């Protein structure tokens, strides 16, 4: 990604951490990675916004029809999310989630200078506190008041509706994709092939030890399978809500667990 001054400024205005690429502005609080060793560009709610939209059947049909269909209004913003990889899509669509402050567009002078995130005044230490405040007030009074008001009223086109854990978003998709690929499998078996993690009532070691002692473990295995099925059902229920609402331009939004 080519880091222009405008792009650098925009990267500091995301409400939640954007995908992390080499050279991206430093963020003091990076999100928890969705899984171990995940690349930086996947460590963002915006990456999963794209992923969940790709699972929306109605939006997929609109993309196949070049933007015509029930989701034509959303398509005008997000475009075809199936035509390229995330990095290519993000390069042209990151502006859906951030902005560059128009209030920064003022003339330079010897009293102050501009950087991406705002105005910086240079006031000598030799001045009194009153003189320093007067210098600040004098400079701010030169700003176009209409620009300042417009800035305060600025809204993001699409703003995350929550602050989810990325590992949860990731595991919901693992289960959803496993179900789509294997609709005939039992939910407990989907748990085993999807790669999700959960603490089961009885560990593999406990069951193995009992089996080695020639004790029955059938009931324990049934209890574990029931626990696995409940985990999968919860993931599917939540993923379905996220996928439905992302088609409405809202993510990550769900109504119940």
pLDDT in tens, 202-238: 777 766 766 655 555 677 778 888 999 999 999 999 9
Q: What phi and psi, each to the nearest 5 degrees, are found at residue 228?
A: -60, -45
Q: How far apart are CA 191 and CA 179, in angstroms?
A: 10
Lowest mean pLDDT among 82-86, 130-134, 171-175: 130-134
> What is the per-residue pLDDT across 70-128, written as a single tens digit (0 to 9) for each?
999 999 999 999 999 999 999 999 999 998 765 544 444 444 444 444 555 566 666 78
Looking at residue 114, its pLDDT comes to: 44
User: How many helices and strands, by DSSP H and E, does the chain display?
Assistant: 11, 2
72 assigned to some structural domain: yes
Residue 109 shares a structural domain with residue 87: no
> Residue 37: is its pLDDT beyond 80?
yes
46 assigned to some structural domain: yes
159 assigned to some structural domain: no
Which residues partner with 114 through β-bridges?
Answer: 119
160 assigned to some structural domain: no
This prediction's pTM:
0.78
Residue 33 shares a structural domain with residue 89: yes
Residue 182 shares a structural domain with residue 197: yes
User: What are the structure tokens assigned to 256, written together?
Assistant: 């119940």
3-state secondary structure of 17: coil
Residue 117 shares a structural domain with residue 194: no
256 assigned to some structural domain: no
Residue 193 shares a structural domain with residue 232: yes
Residue 29 shares a structural domain with residue 61: yes
3-state secondary structure of 32: coil
Residue 65 shares a structural domain with residue 45: yes
- Provide the domain count of the chain: 3
Residue 71 shares a structural domain with residue 29: yes
- H/E stretch holding 208 reads helix 204-212
Residue 90 shares a structural domain with residue 112: no
Phi/psi class of residue 221: alpha, beta or left (left: φ > 0; alpha: ψ in -120 to 50)? Answer: alpha
Show the domain range for 53.
5-96
Q: How confident is the model at residue 151 (pLDDT cuts 50, 70, 90)?
A: low
Q: How far apart are CA 179 and CA 34, in angstroms?
A: 20
157 assigned to some structural domain: no
Residue 10 shares a structural domain with residue 92: yes
Q: What is the mean pLDDT of residues 137-144?
A: 74
253 assigned to some structural domain: no
Q: How far apart are CA 250 and CA 161, in angstroms?
A: 7
78 assigned to some structural domain: yes
Residue 76 shares a structural domain with residue 34: yes
């Amino acid at each position: 990604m080519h880091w222009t001054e405008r792009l650098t400024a925009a990267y500091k205005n995301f409400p939640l951490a954007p995908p992390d690429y080499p050279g991206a502005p430093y963020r003091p609080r990076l999100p928890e990675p969705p899984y171990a060793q995940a690349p930086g560009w996947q460590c963002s709610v915006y990456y999963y916004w794209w992923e969940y939209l790709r699972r929306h059947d109605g939006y997929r049909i609109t993309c196949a029809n070049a933007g015509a269909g029930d989701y034509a209004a959303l398509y005008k913003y997000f475009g075809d999310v199936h035509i390229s990889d995330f990095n290519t899509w993000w390069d042209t669509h990151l502006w859906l989630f951030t902005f560059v402050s128009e209030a920064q567009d003022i003339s330079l002078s010897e009293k102050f200078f501009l950087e991406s995130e705002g105005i910086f005044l240079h006031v000598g230490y030799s001045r009194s506190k009153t003189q320093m405040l007067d210098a600040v007030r004098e400079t701010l009074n030169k700003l176009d008041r209409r620009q300042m008001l417009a800035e305060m009223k600025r809204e993001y086109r699409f703003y995350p509706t929550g602050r989810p854990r990325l590992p949860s978003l990731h595991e919901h998709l693992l289960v959803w994709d496993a179900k789509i690929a294997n609709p005939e499998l039992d939910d407990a078996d989907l748990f085993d092939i999807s790669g999700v993690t959960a603490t089961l009532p009885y560990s593999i070691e406990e069951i193995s030890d009992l089996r080695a002692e020639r004790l029955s473990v059938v009931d324990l295995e049934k209890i574990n399978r029931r626990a696995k099925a409940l985990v999968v059902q919860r993931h599917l229920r939540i993923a379905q809500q996220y996928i439905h609402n992302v088609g409405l331009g809202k993510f990550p939004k769900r109504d119940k667990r």
